[in-house]
């Protein structure tokens, strides 16, 4: 059973997924789950508000794709501002992870 | 489309009351497509249609909550075609033009024949004043309505500043008008200098505040 993602983590993960290429909402949700090996469960109810905020910030741009054979779908792609934001968030995460790792990495359970 | 999905979409749509009809339709369309894809996925995994629909709707969660969040996110969106500061400033100028029109048009109008009405004990004069302020009150109400919408759209500080400014101007106008009706032929509620100087000052204030409030909203969004 996957764990629900915190709202504050969703924008960064969405940016990371879109960095790989443009996707529509359904594909973004499935990609997050598959890349986390089903550890993360991205609830769609949290995805769309996050997409709107990212659009508003101009980190992503959404366009209706009418070229396919089926119904038009809204496809999102990352913008250059989004790429810069992703790079900054990645740096922050690496620093945070290193700091936590310095405490947890060498820790061993007390021997009894 | 399955009736439960239709009902869900309707409930989401009911919450999108502050979005334009086009944006509302786009939101519903996108969610409908996603739900449909989830239902197909569920059926592909061996669920029957109603089970697949139930699972898909559970993935999306409460329609009211989703709708409210989408509505809120949509409200914070800056106008696509106009820089935000320019849009707010235009509203200030329109408000100021309305104020000037009322000040020098409607309210000054009774004073032109105040000599006539004053000879009748001032009763008609009072009635005209009340009519004038009635119109002014309506104008203020309209302005407040516009400003409240502005507040909900996220331009909090400019809107609050503008409301404060308009209140002060109307208070000055009201007190000066009522304190001088019998000592002056015309009732200039506020001087031309004030009318010209304050809006300019206020526009500069809006530019600063609008910028500040926008950035604060931007950074807050990440943590919500």
pLDDT surpassing 90 at residue A76: yes
Question: How confident is the model over A32-45, as pLDDT tens digits?
Answer: 888 888 788 788 88
pLDDT of B150 reads 58
Confidence tier at B193 by pLDDT (50, 70, 90): low
The pLDDT of B200-224, averaged and rounded, is 46
Least reliable range by pLDDT among A17-26, A73-82, B165-174, B188-197: B188-197
Q: Report d(CA B73, CA B224) in Å as an integer.
A: 11
Q: Taking 50 as the threshold, does the pLDDT of residue B167 lie above it?
A: yes
Tell me, yes or no, if the pTM score tops 0.95.
no
The per-residue pLDDT for B79 is: 47
> Does A28 have pLDDT greater than 50?
yes
Is there a contact between B33 and A26 if contact means CB atoms under 8 Å apart? yes
What letter would DSSP give residue A77?
Answer: E
Give pLDDT, residue A56.
86
pLDDT above 50 for B213: no
Q: What average pLDDT does this structure show over A66-83? A: 84
Q: Which residues of chain A from 76 to 95 reach within 8 Å of chain B, CB to CB?
A: none
pLDDT-derived band at B129, boundaries 50, 70, 90:
low
Tokens coding B123: 């009763």
pLDDT score at B218: 39
Helix/strand/coil for A60: strand
pLDDT of residue B116: 44
pLDDT at A6: 75
For residues A42 and A29, the answer to whether their CB atoms sit within 8 Å is yes
- ipTM over 0.95 threshold: no
Q: So what's the pLDDT on residue B187?
A: 44
Across the range B133-138, mean pLDDT stands at 63
- The answer to which of B4-18, B115-129, B164-178 has the lowest mean pLDDT is B115-129
Give the pLDDT confidence score for residue B217 in this predicted structure: 37
Q: What is the pLDDT of residues B51-78, one digit of tens each?
A: 999 999 998 999 999 998 898 887 655 4
- pLDDT score for B130: 60
Instruction: Say yes or no for a CB contact (<8 Å) between A26 and B30.
Output: no
Out of A48, A64, A71, name the one closest to residue B70 (CB): A48
Most confident of A54-63, B96-105, B187-196: A54-63
Q: Is the pLDDT of residue B111 over 60?
A: no
pLDDT (0 to 100) of residue B216? 39
* SS3 per residue for chain B: CCHHHHHHHHHHHHHCCCCCHHHHHHHHHHHHHHHHHHHHHHHHCCCCHHHHHHHHHHHHCCHHHHHHHHHHHHHCCCCCCCCHHHHHHHHHHHHHHHHHHHHHHHCCHHHHCHHHHHCCCCHHHHHHHHHHHHHHHHHHHHHHHHHHHHHHCCCHHHHHHHHHHHHHHHHHHHHHHHHCCCCCCCCCCCCHHHHHHHHHHHHHHHHHHHHHHHHHHHHHHHHC
Q: What pLDDT is attached to residue B81?
A: 45
Q: Report the candidate in B34, B35, B27, B46 with the shortest Cα–Cα distance to residue B2.
A: B35
If you average pLDDT over every residue of chain B, what do you get? 67
Contacts of B30 in chain A (CB under 8 A): 25, 48, 73-74
Q: Residue B168 is encoded by which pair of tokens? A: 């002060």
Interface contacts (A, B; CB < 8 Å): 62
Best mean pLDDT range from B30-44, B147-161, B178-192: B30-44
What's the pLDDT score for residue A87?
93
**Does A74 reach chain B within 8 Å, measured CB to CB?**
yes
Which residues in chain A have their CB less than 8 angstroms from residue B37's CB? Answer: 26
Binning pLDDT at 50, 70 and 90, where does residue B32 land? Answer: very high
């Amino acid at each position: 059973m996957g764990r629900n993602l915190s709202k504050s983590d969703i924008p960064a993960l969405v940016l990371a997924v879109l960095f790989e290429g443009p996707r529509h909402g359904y594909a973004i949700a499935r990609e997050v789950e598959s890349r986390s090996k089903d550890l993360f469960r991205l609830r769609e109810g949290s995805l769309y508000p996050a997409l709107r905020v990212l659009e508003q910030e101009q980190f992503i741009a959404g366009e209706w794709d009418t070229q396919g054979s089926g119904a038009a779908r809204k496809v999102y792609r990352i913008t250059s501002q989004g790429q810069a934001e992703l790079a900054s968030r990645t740096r922050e995460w690496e620093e945070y992870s290193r700091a936590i790792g310095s405490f947890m990495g060498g820790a061993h359970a007390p021997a009894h | 489309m399955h009736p439960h999905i239709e009902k869900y979409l309707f409930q989401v749509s009911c919450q999108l009351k502050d979005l334009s009809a086009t944006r509302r339709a786009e939101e519903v369309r996108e969610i409908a497509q996603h739900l449909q894809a989830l239902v197909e996925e569920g059926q592909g995994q061996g669920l029957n249609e109603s089970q697949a629909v139930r699972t898909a709707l559970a993935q999306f969660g409460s329609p009211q909550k989703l709708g409210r969040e989408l509505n809120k996110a949509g409200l914070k969106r800056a106008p696509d075609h106009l820089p935000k500061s320019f849009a707010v400033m235009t509203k200030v100028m329109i408000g100021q033009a309305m104020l000037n029109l009322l000040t020098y048009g409607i309210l000054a109008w009774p004073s032109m024949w105040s000599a006539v009405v004053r000879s009748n004990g001032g009763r008609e004069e009072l009635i005209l004043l009340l009519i004038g302020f009635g119109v002014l009150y309506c104008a203020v109400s309209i302005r407040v309505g516009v400003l409240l919408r502005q507040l909900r759209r996220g331009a909090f500080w400019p809107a609050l500043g503008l409301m404060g400014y308009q209140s002060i101007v109307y208070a000055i106008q009201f007190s000066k008008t009522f304190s001088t009706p019998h000592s002056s032929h015309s009732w200039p509620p506020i001087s031309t200098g004030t009318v010209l100087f304050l809006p300019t000052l206020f526009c500069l204030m809006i530019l600063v505040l609008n910028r500040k409030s926008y950035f604060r909203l931007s950074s807050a969004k990440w943590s919500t």
